[in-house]
Structure 1
Amino acid sequence: MGLSELLKSAAIPKGSFYYCFTSKEDFGGKLLGQYRSQYTERLDEIQSDGTPDARARLMDCWFAGDARKPQARYGLLRKESQGGSWA
């Protein structure tokens, strides 16, 4: 889906989009940044209780659904493409 199609389906004028974002790349970067912030906050909440099973709950959370989301797959592919290991 291209930007024009996305904006049309969301009923957002292109001018409004470019008022908020300098480019499609800017939009993508801010979108990923927001996702990362929310995800990091969620991980911090899970780990912050200090119980021994925090890691197990973290893994349960991951395998319960987040790994199936497109954003998570993108993150794994991005990390792998940068030479990192996701395992």
Structure 2
Amino acid sequence: MSPFVFVLWIIFMCCATAVTLALLSGLGGRRRSQKAEAKLRADWAQSTAALREEVNALRARVATLEKIVTDPAAQLKTEIERLR
């Protein structure tokens, strides 16, 4: 085997190894990204549920405050205070 062919063979092996490693890490990267995406979706669902609960609690509080503000007795008291 001539030295030129030997050098070409070494270059070919290095390139083949680099391509193989890139393909293998790419497949592993996709698996990792799918796991990360699943975790993000679970976190997103959990935070969305917590926000929905908070919004429902705030709606209940606003409804209570609306009842207090629109109460005729409260309106009468406000008018009396304003007239003083």
TM bracket (short chain): 0.3 to 0.5
TM-score by length of 1: 0.33
- Name the structure, 1 or 2, with higher relative contact order (CA <8 Å, separation 6+): 1
User: Radius of gyration: which is bigger?
Assistant: 2
TM-score by length of 2: 0.34
